[in-house]
Structure 1
């Protein structure tokens, strides 16, 4: 049994580094690590675990890794890492589930979040979307009717 007060999936500095099994993190390629780090820290309340190269953030019960783009490397030949090229093409979205969407919407909007629309009731859920400084789409949702379907 471990005598550490940190969960087994974190190292001593809080970085997601499992001693066994695995941890899921979400990688976002960003144009400016400092700007994006401050957005996630200030608006969403993320804890900064590593400042840059790459930025590592603890966001509620998950981690975000923010890194700069670049060309292919020997472990990913023919792959270019780049921030979103168009705000109109969705290739990935961070999905954040909350208990009270109206309260979170008001709080994050006051902190500077730019929402596409206010929360909309879709029957199964209430949801709305915002973007980070690079245009990554973030869905904010609260389960409602979908819970009756489970």
Structure 2
């Protein structure tokens, strides 16, 4: 069975300028599609090949890894290996972090900590089904000119 064509108005296809999307390599498209739509509240635009989920004013594009292609010769797309380091993560800015924390936890999201007051913002992190780190933040003090506080645990070693 083929899937229906997506509504062009929901596709990440600007008529001018640039539009930013995030591509993530996933092990199980259905599992990740469920997380980004059901847990985080995104709208599925395309089920697979690639999966596209509109998340607020942005899009997450998901597909399994694969070998080099003519437009990216010698480059393989590989699965993310979760661990205790990261070099890139999704940053979600929300209006009410406590409501998001409660709703997403009830839907199965596993946060590393509850929201923590960092001076300029309230912030917490969770991981998606493939282990990608997601920061969830709500600007608070920053809206009144307060920058993030430097704490001893934030300084290099």
Partner SS for 1:115:
coil
State the shift of 1:13 in Å. 5.1
Runs of 4+ in 1 over 4 A off after TM superposition: none
What are structure 2's unaligned runs of at least 5 residues?
1-6, 147-157
> What is the TM-score of this pair, normalised by structure 2?
0.84
Q: 2:22 maps to what in 1?
A: 26
- Whether the 8 Å contact between 1:13 and 1:49 is mirrored in structure 2 is no
What is the CA RMSD across the aligned residues, in angstroms? Answer: 1.7
Alignment of 1:52-131 (within 5 A): 52-131=48-127
The separation in 1 between residues aligned to 2:27 and 2:130, in whole angstroms, is 7
What count of residue pairs does the alignment treat as equivalent?
Answer: 141
Distance (whole Å) between structure 1 residues aligned to residue 34 and residue 118 of structure 2: 32
> Residue 149 in 1 paired to residue 154 in 2?
no
1:72-96 Cα distance to aligned partner (Å, 9 max, x none): 2221123221232132221211100
Equivalent residue for 2:33?
Answer: 37
TM-score, structure 1 as length reference: 0.87
> Residue by residue, what CA displacement relative to the aligned partner does 1:92-136 show, whole Å, maximum 9, x if unpaired?
111001111111100100011010111111111110000000001
Secondary structure, counterpart of 1:109 in structure 2? helix
